[in-house]
Amino acid sequence: MVSKIEVVQGEGGVGTILELFFLPGRKDMTSYKEKCTMVDDEKRVKETEVLEGGFLDLGFTLYRVRYEVIEKEEKMCVTRVTIEYDVREEFAANVALVSIQPIVVIMEAVARHLTQNNPN
């Protein structure tokens, strides 16, 4: 779904801006920029907010994603993802586009990479 991610500004913490590019052929979105607005290492929580493009081009006035990593066992965790959004009334039909599925695909790919490259 995502062809590449570029760091526009920052080093991964609060204030970092990324631009995510989608694979060619997607008509509703080609890319968007998101900013890391909150990181709480102690609680294992991170929030990002779309700054430009993407959902904002589809009538949304806010699109925020919150990630919470919840430890289950020594080498196991669950990630809770929450999407918060506001959309202008005339674009209310676009709410159907909101889904955690793209995030799940990315998290599954990261999990495969980490488990294949970390024998412990």
4 is catalytic: no
Strand order in the sheet with 17-22: 2-9, 17-22, 31-40, 45-53, 60-73, 76-87
Q: pLDDT by residue (tens digit) across 31-65?
A: 999 999 999 999 999 999 999 999 999 999 999 99
User: Which residue out of 35, 43, 46, 72 is catalytically annotated?
Assistant: 46
pLDDT bucket at 120, cuts 50 / 70 / 90: low
Q: State how far the Cα of 74 lies from the Cα of 88, in Å rounded to an integer.
A: 44
Which fold does the domain 2-117 belong to in CATH? Alpha-D-Glucose-1,6-Bisphosphate; Chain A, domain 4 (3.30.530)
Domain chopping of the chain, boundaries: 2-117
Say if residues 39 and 14 touch (Cβ distance below 8 Å): yes
Q: pLDDT by residue (tens digit) across 5-40?
A: 999 999 989 999 999 998 887 777 889 999 999 999
Indicate the pTM of the whole model: 0.86
pLDDT bucket at 119, cuts 50 / 70 / 90: low
